């Protein structure tokens, strides 16, 4: 569960990114992430645990410095013991943002899940620190994460497996590389398990910037598909066999592009800055 | 435009099938098509124009006979001149059903579009004759058909090209091989052009049986995805460049499996025979 936000404080930004964000020509997603970490005051801890490639962390270190961060540090949590280490926890205490790289989501959740570092990141987010991640690093942010799933547009009962994530919020479930890997079916199946949450499908090079007030705004070159099962009229989830398709009636779907918003409280979508100007 | 249904008559069934329907173990889609053509009284004309394979027509001829049709005939319309031939038109006059095979949708529309056979099929459907088709043969049935399109979950302005179809109805736009080829984006883009119609995405081995009263019921092993843009709150379709993603707010989506229904008039979905029994 998310840490409680203390009176007089406000929660920090939560920034899931769909993977493959532009790092060269037009890095507007990473630039805006830096902005919500404090801009030129940003002090970002990069956690490359999901990745097996040694260069993953250093790449983001270089990028955030180029974009103008005051300080960046790579903290590698390779074992659960690393996740209790006092110095690393202290480093996070003074960061203004934490960034999880892509890689293997289950490596991330099995290494840091339930450890002091996971708890600290929840507490710090509740105190105002920004937390974001790309690809696997985006999937981990919520209470429920999609651990496995089949590709394909139509949901089946077996098309998705949920696992506990970092738990910064329980209001949404994230899926990444959404358009590129055809994942509507598994996101919809995840909603069928828990219509309370909102499904968020992130295209590559596209992010949902979730403000302290739980209004999400899109940034990047693709779309964010919001699947809202709050008005669900019927689900056959409980009565179908594993590989049978699931019948779901009454889903609301919004396809948001850069500038459009969705409020996770009221479940209202808005064209935001895309609205035609009034004459 | 659809032919007018005369007083005292009712329109025939319209049966789009998503392609790759089971022809061996459990051919329930084709069996039900036969049923709505009159069962043991069925007299079916198979039109294999979309296909370049000579065996396509004979395969359905054999199948419908095995399933119990009274008569089956393959009518090959290879040229537009064929589509004016008196004897072939007369053959359709006495059929209880017409079935379009799969193949190339544009071959079908460019050959029969605007010819006497196209007109006759519309008239006969308005008089009660069943008309169905699989894959390309399904796409052609409506007034607007998807001629080309990109795969991928997120719609862009260029992700779909519409072309005139046979025009049995203008209430829906069909897309086939839906789950298998990741076509939500192009179906949603088609809806963005014309929110009046309902988008129907058919999985393989799955059909929408559209009754004379415009209630659609699903048959087959997959799902039918209904995209209803009737309540659309915002579309950026008119303001985006060709390859930019389109922002669409307020789509309603239903995923229907065998037994579930959707009424194209009222736009209400129902669990139909999937409803849990009342105790």
Give the number of residues written for chain A: 279
Residue A279 lies in a domain: no
Q: Choose between A278 and A9: higher pLDDT.
A: A9
Substitution target from A182, A189, A250, A259 for chain B, most B beta carbons within 10 A: A182
Extended strands (E) in chain A: 14-17, 43-47, 71-74, 97-100, 130-134, 144-149, 160-164, 172-175, 198-202, 206-210, 215-220, 223-228, 234-235, 248-257, 261-263, 269-270
Q: What is the distance between the alpha carbons of residues B205 and B219, in angstroms, rounded to a whole number?
A: 9
For this structure, is A93 an active site residue? no
Q: Would you state the structure tokens that stand for residue A69, as one six-digit string?
A: 């961060």
Set B21, B204, B217, B219: catalytic member: B204
Spatial contact of A174 and A146, defined as CB atoms under 8 Å apart: yes
With H, G, I as helix, E, B as strand and everything else as coil, classify residue A181: helix
Query: What is the predicted pLDDT for the residue at A28?
Result: 96
Residue A200 lies in a domain: yes
Q: Would you state the structure tokens that stand for residue B79, as one six-digit string?
A: 């040229």
Query: What is the predicted pLDDT for the residue at B132?
Result: 98
Residue B213 lies in a domain: yes
pLDDT band at A222 (very low <50, low <70, confident <90, very high): very high
Residue B277 lies in a domain: no
Spatial contact of B40 and B68, defined as CB atoms under 8 Å apart: yes
- Listing DSSP states for B66-129 in one string gives HTT-SEEEE----STTGGG-HHHHHHHHT-SEEEE-SS-HHHHHHHHTTSHHHHHHHHHHHHT-
With H, G, I as helix, E, B as strand and everything else as coil, classify residue A108: helix
Q: Choose between B254 and B238: higher pLDDT.
A: B254
Q: What is the distance between the alpha carbons of residues B32 and A148, in angstroms, rounded to a whole number?
A: 36
Query: What is the predicted pLDDT for the residue at A198?
Result: 93
Residue A4 lies in a domain: no
Per the listing, tokens 């006092």 go with A86
Q: What is the pLDDT of residues B123-156, one digit of tens each?
A: 999 999 999 999 999 999 998 888 776 665 567 7
Number of domains in chain A: 1
User: Distance from B119 to chain A by nearest Cα, in Å?
Assistant: 35
Q: What is the distance between the alpha carbons of residues A179 and A77, in angstroms, rounded to a whole number?
A: 31
pLDDT band at A279 (very low <50, low <70, confident <90, very high): very low
- Dihedrals phi, psi of A14, to nearest 5 degrees: -120, 125
- Interface contact A183-B153, CB threshold 8 A: yes
Query: What is the predicted pLDDT for the residue at A248?
Result: 93
Q: What is the pLDDT of residues A32-62, one digit of tens each?
A: 999 999 999 999 999 999 998 889 999 999 9
CA distances from B33 to A73, A199, B22, B118 (A): 65, 37, 13, 20
Q: Which strand (E) or helix (H) includes residue A251?
A: strand A248-257
For the sheet containing A14-17, what is the strand order? Answer: A71-74, A43-47, A97-100, A130-134, A14-17, A206-210, A215-220, A261-263, A269-270
Dihedral (CA of B235, B236, B242, B244) sign: negative
Residue B222 has pLDDT above 60, yes or no: yes
What is the mean predicted confidence (pLDDT) over B29-55?
A: 96
- Interface contact A249-B254, CB threshold 8 A: yes
Q: B162: domain CATH number?
A: 3.40.50.880
What is the mean predicted confidence (pLDDT) over B232-258?
A: 91
Lowest mean pLDDT among A67-71, B147-151, B272-276: B147-151
Q: What is the largest CA-CA distance in chain A?
A: 61
Query: What is the predicted pLDDT for the residue at B239?
Result: 87
Substitution target from B195, B199, B245, B252 for chain A, most A beta carbons within 10 A: B245
Residue A196 has pLDDT above 70, yes or no: yes
For this structure, is B177 an active site residue? yes
Q: How many CB atoms lie within 10 A of CB A62?
A: 13
Please tell me which of the candidates B236, B269, B270 has its beta carbon nearest to residue A257: B236
Residues in chain A closer than 8 A to B227 (CB atoms)? 253
- Interface contact A257-B244, CB threshold 8 A: yes
Residues in chain A closer than 8 A to B245 (CB atoms)? 203, 221-223, 255, 257
Q: What is the distance between the alpha carbons of residues B261 and B109, in angstroms, rounded to a whole number?
A: 29
Q: How many CB atoms lie within 10 A of CB A50?
A: 25
Residue B40 lies in a domain: yes
Within a 13 Å sphere around the CA of B146, how many CA atoms are in the beta-carbon half? 34
Q: Would you state the structure tokens that stand for residue A264, as one six-digit string?
A: 């996770």
Q: Would you state the structure tokens that stand for residue A50, as one six-digit string?
A: 């999901």
Query: What is the predicted pLDDT for the residue at B147?
Result: 77
Residues in chain B closer than 8 A to A233 (CB atoms)? 269, 271
Residue A106 lies in a domain: yes
Give the domain range for residue B133.
Answer: 14-263
Per the prediction, chain B carries an average pLDDT of: 91
User: Distance from B134 to chain A by nearest Cα, in Å?
Assistant: 19
User: Distance from A181 to chain B by nearest Cα, in Å?
Assistant: 8
- Interface contact A249-B236, CB threshold 8 A: no
Please tell me which of the candidates A180, A227, A247 has its beta carbon nearest to residue B256: A247
For this structure, is B73 an active site residue? no
Q: Would you state the structure tokens that stand for residue B181, as one six-digit string?
A: 């080829």
Residue A181 lies in a domain: yes
Residue B70 has pLDDT above 50, yes or no: yes
Q: How many CB atoms lie within 10 A of CB A24?
A: 6
Q: What is the pLDDT of residues B183-194, one digit of tens each?
A: 777 888 888 877
Q: Would you state the structure tokens that stand for residue B254, as one six-digit string?
A: 């239903």
């Amino acid at each position: 569960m998310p840490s409680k936000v203390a009176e007089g404080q406000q929660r920090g930004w939560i920034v899931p990114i769909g993977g493959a964000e532009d790092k060269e020509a037009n890095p507007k997603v990473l630039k805006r992430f830096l902005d919500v970490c404090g801009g030129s005051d940003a002090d970002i801890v990069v956690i490359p645990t999901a990745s097996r490639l040694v260069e993953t962390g250093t790449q983001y270190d270089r990028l955030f410095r180029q974009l103008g961060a005051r300080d960046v540090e790579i903290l590698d949590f390779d074992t659960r013991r690393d996740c209790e280490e006092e110095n690393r926890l202290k480093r996070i205490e003074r960061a203004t943002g934490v960034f999880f790289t892509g890689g293997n989501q289950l490596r991330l959740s099995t290494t840091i899940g339930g450890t002091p570092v996971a708890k600290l990141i929840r507490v710090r987010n509740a105190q105002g620190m920004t937390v974001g991640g790309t690809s696997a690093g985006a999937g981990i942010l919520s209470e429920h994460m999609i651990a496995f799933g089949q590709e394909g547009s139509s949901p089946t009962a077996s098309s998705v497996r949920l696992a506990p994530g970092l738990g910064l919020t329980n209001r949404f479930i994230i899926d990444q590389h959404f358009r590129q890997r055809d994942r509507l079916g598994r996101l919809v199946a995840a909603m069928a398990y828990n219509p309370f949450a909102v499904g968020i499908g992130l295209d590559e090079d596209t992010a949902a910037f979730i403000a302290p007030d739980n209004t999400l705004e899109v940034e990047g070159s693709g779309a964010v598909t919001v699947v809202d099962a709050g008005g669900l009229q019927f689900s056959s989830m409980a009565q179908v066999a594993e590989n049978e398709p699931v019948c779901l009636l009454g889903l609301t779907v919004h396809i948001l592009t850069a500038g459009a918003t969705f409020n996770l409280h009221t479940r209202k979508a808005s064209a935001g800055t895309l609205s035609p100007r009034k004459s």
